[in-house]
Amino acid sequence: PSRPSQPQFCHDLDEVERRELKLFAERRKRENLGQGSVRALPPSSAGAVCQQCGGPIPGGSLAVFAARAGLGLCWHPRCFQCQQCRQPLVDLLYFSAGRGPARLLCGRHHGDSERQRCPGCDEV
């Protein structure tokens, strides 16, 4: 987890800001946080369709599954990326912004979509 969403690392907050940050961090974990799972599609399967590029993922190929984005949906490993900065999200935490598979975000860009950053310290 990153420090900006953890109240114990933010020493200059007043009590109201601390409470808001704690609620933000709890909601973020509960509703959006996940980690993709890379596994091979069964070789005998007809394959799947990548949620990002729409291309085929043949049976026996590696695919990324992200339960928080939608059960049964999968991506080519190279396509499983932040929609904002294109950072690959394989083996990293991802955030599903809203419902549906189209809005996968890295932690920084999910935070930016929920709260403004401080212009002085760049923290959420």
**Beta pairing, strands 93-96 & 33-35:** antiparallel
Q: What is the pTM of this model?
A: 0.70
**Cα gap 97→83, rounded to integer Å:** 10
Radius of gyration of the chain (CA): 17
Q: Give residues with Cβ within 8 angstroms of 54, minimum separation 6.
A: none
Question: What is the pLDDT tens value at each position of the chain, 124 positions in all?
Answer: 444 455 555 666 788 877 887 887 777 676 667 888 999 999 998 899 999 999 999 999 999 998 878 888 899 999 999 988 999 999 888 887 665 556 788 888 877 766 676 666 666 6
Two tokens, residue 122: 């760049």
At the topology level of CATH, where does 35-114 sit? Cysteine Rich Protein (2.10.110)
The HSE-up count of residue 35 (CA atoms within 13 Å, CB side) is 4
